Amino acid sequence: MHFKRIVFLLSIFIFLFQPLLAAQDTTAVQWTASGKKINTGQYQIYLKGTIKTGWHIYAKENKAAGLEGLKISFSDSSIKKDGDPQLKGNFKTITDKIFDNAKSEVATDSVAFIQKITITGEVPASLKAVLAFNTATSEAFIPEEIKIEIAMEGGIDMSASNRILVSAIDLKNPVNSCGGMGISIETSTSKGLVTIFLLGFLGGLLALITPCVFPMIPLTVSFFTKRGVSKRRGIFNAALYGFFIFLIYVLLSVPFYFIDSANPEILNTISTSPWLNLGFFAIFLFFAFSFFGYYEISLPGRLSGKADSKAGSGNIIGIFFMAVTLAIVSFSCTGPILGSLLVGSLNQDGGAIQLTTGMAGFGLALALPFTLFALFPNWLNSLPKSGGWLNSVKVVLGFIEVGLAIKFLSNADLVKHWGLLKREVFMAIWILVGIGITLYLLGRIKFPHDSKIKKLGRERILLAIVFGAFTVYLLPGVTNTKYANLTLISGFPPPLCYSIYDHPVNCEGFEPLRDYGEALVKAKAENKPILIDFTGFACVNCRQMEENVWRDEAVFEIMKERFIVVSLYVDDKKNLPAAQQFTYTTREGIDKEIITVGNKWATFETENFKNNAQPLYAIISPREILMNNPVGYTPSVSKYKEWLLCGLEAFQKSK
């Protein structure tokens, strides 16, 4: 068992640092690979490994040692293995010191691996695969996992059709430099930052009225204003305390800059990962039940104890650790809000700066009361007393966390095309959440830490009316009527066409193409410009554009009749056919594996338009000349229409 743990840890190490290893050769084995055609779509894969002197390979399965044999896997799920592989080589049985002198059958000198496969569709000239095996000497054991390329007999060279960089696209010299005020990428990005900051600030305000934070305000302010120092010094210390709170939350975003700089697409890739979204679905449900009062979430007591021990000195360092202590002890309330902010920021466009902006808003909202109440201590008398209302805030936030959890589940469902959470199902769950909040505020539902409600207060009744009205507003969302398009929450539910109904009434119109090459061929045949829509299944702003701007009668007519529209989904996790998978070298000389549909279109966007935002719109001619400046999220129908007409004018000029 001890040895198996070592093997497991070594496997994890190899997996994490695999990119640093050579593509085909290892220190122990050198491989050659070829694929021989034996019938239409049927091939025999032949791998030969030359083993270094003094080494051996566990090519066959060893159940006693918990080792699998030599394994080959393909990134394309359409490639099927026909039967078990054949193994040939110089096999012998040894007394294995690695396995406490147990008998092991290993291959030395060389080994051959033969596997028959069936390929559906076009066969590439070079097939990508991953080979996994274990090697050892009498003293050392190394699990290996390497990438190999197999030359396929009669395969098609797809290098021309696998084009990413379009040299004719010149961002600095479009035919028309137009598009209207306020719809440039830079402007829309800055507006997005303002929105993120305000959402972060709102999240900080919500955190203030939770049981973990609210009681700390008068205690902390009194601590600074009544320590026997001058009033000015007390105010300075309280202001410094507020600044440190702000700084701590901003610093939490710093690690994401290192991730973002390594690969500008990585944050988008992370945020649209179906498995990460499923993880957040589970985490947010966990947070929700904590808010409901079934258990408490807190960081390790040792961590808060260390921070608190350094907070009592009273100097600047002590004040800093007081701020750290607040951040730690309030985590059970702020954690879910910060989690929402984190994922919301990463789902936006613009990289780590979005997260910094949101964290700055959150930290500012949390820090302001401590500074303001220190400046004006008499205001403390106006604060409401702590009580059961604080727990009610937590419970309402718990219901909201359930609604957010469903959003993450929806993201995973859309990206993986599972079809589990259609729009109407999503809306039905949100309606149930709204009913739950309303009934709770009216005292019809109780949770573990709720106080007995003797009389409903005006604030509670008012909130119940607000949530009840919002729930009623959601009701048409489960119907197949024109009223199902709910503009207030546009972009949050799944698309209108992702429906349980056979013919959704809100989906009449044209269907954009999904492949740039196909759009280019059609544009040349019909002599129309191409409208490229870089979009994503998990992109909220994309849905808002499609449901609110594209559906405008004038915009719809222009797009349908005068453009070839192609929507390129940068978060589509569907694997490309084997013949269309390849390695692309970027402008910066970085090799990228193009395996999925999303890999291809995300790289296409960053290479040609130097942007990884969604949505991003660009208009090019059939000769691939840029007509006008690309634009991002443009909620104004008139400005988007103006930009479309500007592109058409440029197209006429360029003929």
Can you give the pLDDT at residue 478? 94
When comparing pLDDT for 18 and 134, which is higher? Answer: 134
Residue 233 makes CB contacts below 8 A (sequence gap 6+) with none
Distance CA 157, CA 482 (A): 49
Asked whether residue 361 carries a pLDDT value surpassing 90, the answer given is no
pLDDT band at residue 612 under the 50/70/90 scheme:
confident
Asked whether residue 601 carries a pLDDT value surpassing 90, the answer given is yes
Can you give the pLDDT at residue 439? 94
When comparing pLDDT for 373 and 592, which is higher? Answer: 592
pLDDT band at residue 630 under the 50/70/90 scheme:
very high
Distance CA 559, CA 550 (A): 8
Distance CA 498, CA 509 (A): 15
Q: Which of 438, 436, 423 is nearest to 479 (CA)?
A: 423
CA 531 from centre of chain: 26
Q: Which residues of 196-221 are buried (b: 16+ CB within 10 A; e: fewer)?
A: bbebbbebbbbbbebbbbbebbbebb
- Average pLDDT, stretch 45-74? 86
- Write the single-letter amino acid at 438: T
| Continuous H helices in 491-636 | 516-526, 540-544, 553-562, 597-609
Q: Which of 246, 536, 442 is nearest to 450 (CA)?
A: 442
CA distances from 492 to 15, 320, 347, 404, 630 (A): 36, 39, 12, 10, 25
**Low-confidence winner among 8-17, 120-129, 531-540 (lowest mean pLDDT):** 8-17
Asked whether residue 314 carries a pLDDT value surpassing 70, the answer given is no
Can you give the pLDDT at residue 5? 44
pLDDT band at residue 8 under the 50/70/90 scheme:
very low
When comparing pLDDT for 568 and 411, which is higher? Answer: 568
- Average pLDDT, stretch 27-45? 89
Residue 95's Cβ-count burial label (10 Å; 0-12, 13-18, 19+) is exposed
CB-facing half-sphere around the CA of 244: CA atoms within 13 A:
20
When comparing pLDDT for 293 and 523, which is higher? Answer: 523
> What would you measure as the largest C-alpha separation in the chain, in angstroms?
91
Distance CA 409, CA 421 (A): 8
When comparing pLDDT for 394 and 377, which is higher? Answer: 394
Distance CA 13, CA 7 (A): 10
Where do the domains of the chain lie, and which CATH numbers do they carry? 2-152 (2.60.40.1250), 209-386 (no CATH), 508-654 (3.40.30.10)
Residues 415-429: tens digit of each pLDDT: 888 989 999 999 999
Specify the length of the chain in residues.
655
- Write the single-letter amino acid at 33: A
Can you give the pLDDT at residue 17? 39
Residues 482-505: tens digit of each pLDDT: 889 898 888 889 988 889 998 888
Asked whether residue 61 carries a pLDDT value surpassing 50, the answer given is yes
- Is 464:441 a contact under the CB 8 Å cutoff? yes
Can you give the pLDDT at residue 259? 62
- Average pLDDT, stretch 53-59? 89
Q: Which residues of 407-419 are buried (b: 16+ CB within 10 A; e: fewer)?
A: bbbbbbbbbbeee
CA distances from 648 to 179, 269, 548, 624 (A): 11, 33, 22, 14
**Low-confidence winner among 145-159, 396-410, 486-500, 530-544 (lowest mean pLDDT):** 145-159
Residues 99-122: tens digit of each pLDDT: 888 888 889 999 999 999 998 877
* Rg of the chain (C-alpha set): 30
**Low-confidence winner among 195-204, 254-263, 343-352 (lowest mean pLDDT):** 343-352
Asked whether residue 196 carries a pLDDT value surpassing 50, the answer given is yes
Can you give the pLDDT at residue 437? 94
When comparing pLDDT for 26 and 73, which is higher? Answer: 73
When comparing pLDDT for 517 and 262, which is higher? Answer: 517
CB-facing half-sphere around the CA of 219: CA atoms within 13 A:
9
Q: What is the pTM of this model?
A: 0.67
- Write the single-letter amino acid at 450: D
Can you give the pLDDT at residue 203? 80
Distance CA 632, CA 536 (A): 13
Can you give the pLDDT at residue 559? 94
Can you give the pLDDT at residue 19? 37
Can you give the pLDDT at residue 410? 92
Asked whether residue 45 carries a pLDDT value surpassing 70, the answer given is yes
pLDDT band at residue 181 under the 50/70/90 scheme:
very low
Task: Retrieve residue 165's tokens.
Answer: 């960089």
Residues 529-576: tens digit of each pLDDT: 999 999 988 888 888 899 889 989 999 999 999 999 999 999 888 888
Can you give the pLDDT at residue 290? 81
* Average pLDDT of the chain, as a whole number: 80
| Highest mean pLDDT out of 13-17, 317-321, 632-636 | 632-636
pLDDT band at residue 387 under the 50/70/90 scheme:
low
Can you give the pLDDT at residue 392? 83
- Write the single-letter amino acid at 46: Y
